[in-house]
Amino acid sequence: MDAFYASVELLRYPELRGRPVVIGGGSRHRPAAVVDPASGETLRTFSTLERYAGRGVVTTATYEARALGVHSALGLMKAAALAPQAVLLPTDFEAYRRMSACFKAAVRAHYPLIEDRGIDEIYVDLTDALAAAGIGGTDRIGGNDGTDTGTDAEARRTFARQAAATMKRAVHEATGLSCSVAVAPNKLLAKIASDLEKPDGLVVLQRDDIERRIWPLPVRRINGIGPKSDARLEGLGIRTIGDLAAADPAVLVRHFGQSHGAWMHEAAHGRDERPVVTHSEPRSISRETTFERDLHARHDRAELSRIFTQLCERVSDDLVRKGYAGRTIGLKLRYDDFHTVTRDCTLVEPTQDAVHIRRAAGECLKRVPLERRIRLLGVRIGALHPAALPWPSAALRAADVPAPSHAFPTLFD
């Protein structure tokens, strides 16, 4: 989806279209609605970035705001310096989640094999649809087997364009929003290509296009190469994906390890065999909060304790709502110098209970230094287990254990 949160807000406040708008900060400052008694027209007053003071970051900026240098993850104070007149709207996750479900359902109605990639992104597997269209058999678009020739390549390109156009139309009809779609031989290439013509993009990328369209791009555009890898590659004189493709794989392995180094080489050549995963179970659930001012374990004990308990309750609520229980309780602390520590401990049996979670997280807290002031506190639960299924009790486990092997008698047999 294009500038997703901001685009959802523009549906609500169409009068902001064309203005730089930034989504971020807390859930305060909803625009005030005023009805003009003369015309009956609804007028709203929006707050601008100008007088913002606080710890928030930009979650999404409209393209007009991006033109001023305001982008996701930028601190709102810095954003205010760049674009004081930009309108600031609070994030409304509930609205975005609803719209997210809506656009995903619209795509799913045409192509059922979709992989969720967070609130505003999906992968779609078109392999079956391609076969159903009678093109290229079970081959993927672009083929993994070399270059396309003649009419087959043309038929695939036409199919890809039509599939992408169908998705874009379905999403627009369901939500009124634009998105960018790329059809490519695999997820890695589709992800990179979907950014090439944003916003409202439609890209069909085949193997033959990699040299011309992918290799000139910076390595950072590869999903999985972040700021750290980017900086280290830069140190090796590798800036573009083409540079990375030309690099000696042995050098990459030496600098980044066997697994990561080999993966980088493959990625630069556009190779990726990951399937589209249409179902997955959550691994962990967490809640965290950054305080408006840094708190001290001793001086602000009561307030910290209240927030701590609240976080545990929210994790517990999430577990119950989603139908999970977990065994590993984790604590996260960020100090005023931004240094972050975590501690966790694993219980014998999974729990959903806020009191159990609070007690376990409290034990974790005892293992963490508390001299410095704290800016963030978080509670996490992992090793999740469906709440409906009974956790094997000691008695059940004993019944499942096979009879002791005579080959390896032990003291306890």
Binding site for DNA (CB under 7 A): 53-57, 59, 72-73, 75, 77-78, 81, 117-121, 191, 222-230, 257, 259-260, 280, 282-290, 318, 327-328, 337-338, 340-346, 364, 367, 375-376, 378, 383, 408, 410
Q: How large is the greatest C-alpha to C-alpha distance in the chain, in angstroms?
A: 94
Residue with tokens 């927030």: 307
Closest distance of CB 37 from DNA, Å: 39
Closest distance of CB 385 from DNA, Å: 11
Q: Which residues contact 137 (CB under 8 A, 6 or more apart)?
A: 131
Rg of the chain over CA atoms, in angstroms? 26
Q: 385 with 324: CB under 8 angstroms? A: yes
312: closest CA among 330, 299, 293, 334?
330
Phi and psi at 295, nearest 5°, equal: -110, 155
User: Which CB, 124 or 130, lies closer to DNA?
Assistant: 124
Distance between CA atoms of residues 362 and 192, nearest Å:
44
Closest distance of CB 211 from DNA, Å: 22
User: Which CB, 135 or 183, lies closer to DNA?
Assistant: 183
Closest distance of CB 317 from DNA, Å: 11
Distance between CA atoms of residues 411 and 225, nearest Å:
52
Q: Which residues contact 18 (CB under 8 A, 6 or more apart)?
A: 64
The gap from C-alpha 1 to its chain's centroid, in whole angstroms, comes to 13
User: Which CB, 7 or 59, lies closer to DNA?
Assistant: 59
Distance between CA atoms of residues 159 and 148, nearest Å:
14
Q: Can 41 be counted among the known catalytic residues? A: no
Closest distance of CB 102 from DNA, Å: 15
Give the Å distances, CA to CA, from 33 to 43, 51, 411. Answer: 6, 20, 77
User: Which CB, 130 or 331, lies closer to DNA?
Assistant: 331
Q: 127 with 137: CB under 8 angstroms? A: no
Closest distance of CB 140 from DNA, Å: 21
User: Which CB, 3 or 153, lies closer to DNA?
Assistant: 3
127: closest CA among 140, 136, 115?
140
User: Which CB, 75 or 242, lies closer to DNA?
Assistant: 75
User: Which CB, 150 or 369, lies closer to DNA?
Assistant: 369
Catalytic residue, candidates 121, 266, 288, 313: 121
Per DSSP, the residues of 353-388 read -HHHHHHHHHHHHTTS--SS-EEEEEEEEEEEEETT
290: closest CA among 5, 57, 45, 20?
57
Strand order, beta sheet including 284-295: 284-295, 374-386, 324-335, 340-351
Q: 356 with 328: CB under 8 angstroms? A: no
307: closest CA among 379, 356, 381?
379
Residue type, 18: G
User: Which CB, 14 or 279, lies closer to DNA?
Assistant: 279
Closest distance of CB 105 from DNA, Å: 17
CA angle at residue 90 from 89 to 91, to 5 degrees?
120
Residue type, 221: R
Closest distance of CB 156 from DNA, Å: 25
Residue type, 304: L
List residues with catalytic annotation.
Answer: 121
